[in-house]
Chains A and B, each alone.
Chain A
Amino acid sequence: MRVATRSGKMPASARAKITMLSKKLVRAKEIERSYKDGEWIVREGEQSKEMFVIQAGRVEITKRQGDRQIPIAQLGKGDFFGEMSVLESLPRDASVRSLGDTSLLVVSAGGLLVRMRRDPTFAFEMLHRLSGRVRSLNARLIKLIAQSGLSEHDLEVMIYNPEEAPPSVRNPSGSKSK
């Protein structure tokens, strides 16, 4: 929509309305939610496509192992989680619950784009975090490979063509996968 006078200059009232509309658009795509101590925010395996930014409080991330919930990490004010579900539309990879009273900013996929447009450093922070995770996972992978005692050929097959790797290469420790 183009709002302009005949001279091409936008009147002050139209400018103010557009500013308010733009702010309302961002607010409509982001909501604030509060959680009590111990309350589940997301559950592993569930389908939801929102990410969360912690405005106040702390959360604990856990992974299910049989009947147990294994704690993986704790996050605090300013940290964010759930971005993998937003980016890939896949079920939740882990569960998250509130530690004490927590206030969260909930961002949907559409809201994420609007936020990145208006708050570009958020995208930088997400990339920074994801890059750190890839680096850490690479280091763990190299360590596991070094411990596995596989030959150079077996490693190449496992990395570049894992579907064609024989079971002895895919699972060198001999333990049965589930």
Chain B
Amino acid sequence: MIIDAVEERMVIISDLHIGNPFSLANQNLSEFLQFVKRERVSLCINGDGFEILQASFVNLAKDSIGVLNELRALIDAGLNVYYVVGNHDIVLEHFLESWAAIQISPFLNVRSGDQRVRVEHGHLYDPFFVKRPELYEIATRAAGPLLHIYPDVYYVWSWYQRQKDKWRQGDASDEASASVYYEAAEMLLARGFDAVVFGHTHKPERVELKDGTYFNSGNWMRSTSYVEINAGSVQLKDWAA
């Protein structure tokens, strides 16, 4: 299993949720993958690329086949494609590895230039996922049919997440305490990483912490944010911009 990678240039996307009725990743991703192929950069899908919890198998199969073929074409062109497992696609890891020949990792320690970057989905630091895994799965699955009937329910979830962040930031005594993800990133940065890239929250961001920088690669459901590592420099970008 690969957990260490040396890459001069790599782009990181996360939370595509292909198969989910609310995801527009299928419409936006093709052009981005062509850019990856043209520029000959390595690609990392930082978790929740495909949706198994909230999608029917028919939707998943219909929506994923084109993307899987494009990923396969990148691998055939000699490019490195990494897939870091998230919480919505854990059961797909063997399928992706054997069908699409994608390298599956629990997390990646990327060395680029003289910098070390940790790429991880981040669900392991989500208190709801860790403390109440069964309830988390029930709630996530229950939201699936709702998304089919009324896809904009996603905005309610996003609004709730923003309120939760504000509530926590109000209590925070320093930058790292403002989010469980910043705290987790700080723990990792103390281990000799220069930057940490998470996904999971769907909220693209860059935050300077005591020992380095925290990034979140955001999502491709209704957004097109990504993180680019180039010769050790790490930047948060938007494909649509």
A, B co-complexed? yes
Residues of A within 8 A of B (CB): 12-13, 15-16, 19-20, 23, 26, 30, 53-56, 77-79, 105, 115, 118-122, 124-125, 128
Q: How far apart are the CA atoms of A13 and B170 in the complex, in Å? A: 11
Given A23-B177, A54-B192, A105-B190, also A118-B184 (CB < 8 A): yes
Contact (Cβ within 8 A) B191 A55: yes
Contact (Cβ within 8 A) B116 A78: yes
Q: Is B50 an interface residue (CB 8 A)?
A: no
Contact (Cβ within 8 A) B170 A20: no
Contact (Cβ within 8 A) A16 B192: no
Q: Is B98 an interface residue (CB 8 A)?
A: no
Given A20-B173, A119-B187, also A124-B192 (CB < 8 A): no
Chain A residues whose CB sits within 8 angstroms of the CB of B116 once the complex forms? 77-78
Contact (Cβ within 8 A) A124 B106: yes
Q: Is B120 an interface residue (CB 8 A)?
A: yes
Contact (Cβ within 8 A) A12 B187: no
Contact (Cβ within 8 A) B124 A16: no
Chain B residues whose CB sits within 8 angstroms of the CB of A122 once the complex forms? 191
Given A53-B191, A55-B191, 9 more A-B residue pairs with CB atoms under 8 Å apart are: A12-B170, A19-B173, A20-B173, A53-B192, A55-B192, A105-B190, A121-B106, A121-B107, A128-B3
B176 to A: closest C-beta gap in Å: 8
Residues of B within 8 A of A (CB): 1, 3, 106-107, 109, 116, 120, 124, 170-173, 176-177, 183-184, 187-188, 190-193, 211
Q: Which of B106, B171, B183 contacts A12 (CB 8 A)?
A: B171
Q: How far apart are the CA atoms of A91 and B3 in the complex, in Å? A: 30
Cβ-closest chain B residue relative to A15: B171
Cβ-closest chain A residue relative to B177: A19
Q: How far apart are the CA atoms of A77 and B193 in the complex, in Å? A: 8
Contact (Cβ within 8 A) B191 A105: yes
Chain A residues whose CB sits within 8 angstroms of the CB of B184 once the complex forms? 118-119
B65 to A: closest C-beta gap in Å: 32
Chain B residues whose CB sits within 8 angstroms of the CB of A77 once the complex forms? 116, 192
Cβ-closest chain B residue relative to A118: B187
Chain B residues whose CB sits within 8 angstroms of the CB of A54 once the complex forms? 192
Q: Which of A13, A20, A78 contacts B191 (CB 8 A)?
A: A78
Chain B residues whose CB sits within 8 angstroms of the CB of A53 once the complex forms? 190-192
Chain B residues whose CB sits within 8 angstroms of the CB of A125 once the complex forms? 3, 109
Chain B residues whose CB sits within 8 angstroms of the CB of A26 once the complex forms? 187
Q: Which of A13, A23, A119 contacts B188 (CB 8 A)?
A: A119
A134 to B: closest C-beta gap in Å: 15
Cβ-closest chain A residue relative to B116: A78
Chain A residues whose CB sits within 8 angstroms of the CB of B171 once the complex forms? 12-13, 15-16, 19
Q: How far apart are the CA atoms of A122 and B190 in the complex, in Å? A: 12
Contact (Cβ within 8 A) A55 B106: no
Q: Which of B120, B172, B177 contacts A121 (CB 8 A)?
A: B120
Cβ-closest chain B residue relative to A55: B192
Q: How far apart are the CA atoms of A128 and B109 in the complex, in Å? A: 13
Chain A residues whose CB sits within 8 angstroms of the CB of B124 once the complex forms? 120-121
A76 to B: closest C-beta gap in Å: 8
Q: How far apart are the CA atoms of A128 and B1 in the complex, in Å? A: 9
Q: How far apart are the CA atoms of A167 and B120 in the complex, in Å? A: 52
